[in-house]
């Protein structure tokens, strides 16, 4: 005798009735972007990061000092290649950075709004850095408004980079850094103040471009084809770093006190600039108020220190 099957009622099956079919439940809900916090760094990772930062800072100091001497100070005076060790390059780099605040403040005497405008150009990318968030892998595409703001920021950074690169190539800057004027009156009246102005602009241009470069790496531009802009901005930042080293190196070479040589036949002051091979390099002020460099392979006697700026500003003896 057969059993009657369980009758099927119309409508969805009840949960309390047995069923041999698997149930598939579709749940539709919006997916939110979840930013996972970084894990707590271990001691090894922290040590590696600190050592890496120290190596980068050391490399920048060495490069800045070497560029300042080789491409800035020596070509302006037509001097031969002075002996330069790694320690000397590092000391030069630190001295150049130490003079940056003085240069920026002194540039206000030539253009009173320059320090303020420079700080504004630095503050703008800093403000965007506090708001920018990179795209999390696997997260949904950003909204159209976020994409618009990201592209706008990228275009502004591109404009800043192009303007800074053009600044490196204008004749006013290149001609002034090529050599010092033979006329000391021109040096004091226009050339030296213009050099301070150029150094200050180089500082703000490099800092602003570097901040925009960092901002470009934090904007959610992945998949939008903007990798070329990041590479271009990196190249421009390296060019600005070189230009900054040239101008600051020349400024540092003019303001650094140097030993004054006393056992010389020159009628006026003579400064010991360094060593070229095994000989001493001297920079002398002639009777006609011009500079002359000589190599001496003999013991020297020095008394006191004086910078090139102080030598030029002193009256004729």
Per-residue pLDDT of the chain (317 residues; tens, 9 = 90+): 455 555 554 555 555 545 556 666 665 666 555 555 555 557 788 889 899 999 999 999 999 999 999 999 999 998 999 999 999 999 999 999 999 999 999 999 888 899 999 999 999 999 888 777 766 666 566 677 777 878 888 889 899 999 999 999 999 999 999 988 888 888 888 999 999 999 999 999 999 999 999 988 888 776 566 778 888 999 999 999 999 999 999 999 999 999 998 765 554 578 989 899 889 999 888 777 778 888 888 888 888 889 999 888 876 54
Structure-token match 């230009």, residue found: 243
pLDDT value at residue 10: 52
The dihedral sign for the CA sequence 36, 40, 42, 46: positive
CA dist 182 and 208 (Å) reads 35
Q: Which two tokens stand for residue 197?
A: 């102005």
**In the block, which residue shows the tokens 């460099």?**
293
pLDDT score at 267:
46
Query: What's the confidence (pLDDT) of residue 21?
Result: 60
Domain ranges within the chain, ordered by starting residue: 46-134+142-255, 258-313
CA distance 252 to 218: 35
Residue 219 neighbours by CB under 8 Å, 6+ apart: 132, 134, 150, 153, 154
Q: What is the pLDDT of residue 18?
A: 55
Structure tokens at 70: 């080789």
Q: Is 72 exposed, middle or buried (0-12, 13-18, 19+ CB in 10 A)?
A: buried
Cα–Cα distances (Å) from 36 to 39, 87, 132, 139, in that order, read 9, 44, 16, 12
Helices (H), the chain: 43-67, 74-77, 86-98, 100-107, 114-131, 144-169, 171-178, 184-186, 192-218, 227-255, 308-313
Q: What is the pLDDT of residue 317?
A: 47
Residue 310 buriedness (CB in 10 A; 0-12 / 13-18 / 19+): middle
Q: What is the pTM of this model?
A: 0.80
- Residue 309's nearest CA partner among 2, 102, 160 is 102
């Amino acid at each position: 005798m057969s059993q009657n099957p369980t009758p099927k009622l119309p409508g969805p099956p009840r949960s309390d009735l047995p069923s041999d079919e698997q149930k598939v439940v579709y749940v539709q809900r919006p997916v939110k972007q979840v930013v996972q916090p970084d894990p707590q760094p271990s001691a090894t990772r922290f040590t590696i990061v600190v050592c890496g930062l120290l190596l980068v800072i050391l490399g920048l100091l060495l490069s800045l000092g070497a560029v300042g001497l080789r491409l800035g100070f020596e070509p302006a005076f037509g001097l031969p290649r002075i002996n330069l060790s790694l320690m000397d390059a590092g000391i030069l780099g630190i001295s150049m950075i130490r003079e940056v605040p003085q240069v920026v403040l002194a540039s206000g005497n030539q253009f009173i709004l320059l320090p303020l405008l420079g700080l504004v150009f630095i503050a703008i990318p800093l403000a965007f850095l506090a708001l920018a968030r990179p795209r999390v892998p696997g997260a949904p595409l950003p909204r159209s408004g976020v994409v618009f703001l990201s592209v706008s920021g990228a275009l502004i950074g591109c404009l800043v980079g192009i303007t800074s690169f053009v600044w490196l190539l204008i004749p006013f800057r290149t001609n002034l850094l090529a050599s010092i004027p033979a006329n000391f009156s021109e040096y004091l009246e226009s050339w030296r103040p213009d050099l301070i102005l150029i150094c200050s602009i180089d500082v703000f241009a490099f800092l602003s471009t570097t901040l925009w470069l960092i901002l470009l790496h934090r904007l959610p531009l992945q998949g939008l084809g903007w990798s070329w802009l990041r590479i271009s901005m990196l190249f421009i930042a390296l060019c600005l770093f070189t230009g900054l080293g040239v101008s600051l190196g020349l400024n540092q070479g003019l303001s650094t006190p140097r030993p004054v040589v006393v056992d010389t036949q020159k009628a006026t002051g003579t400064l010991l600039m360094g060593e070229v091979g095994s000989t001493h390099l001297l920079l002398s002020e002639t009777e006609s108020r011009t500079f002359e460099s000589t190599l001496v392979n003999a013991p020297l006697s020095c008394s006191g220190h004086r910078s090139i700026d102080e030598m030029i500003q002193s009256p004729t003896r």
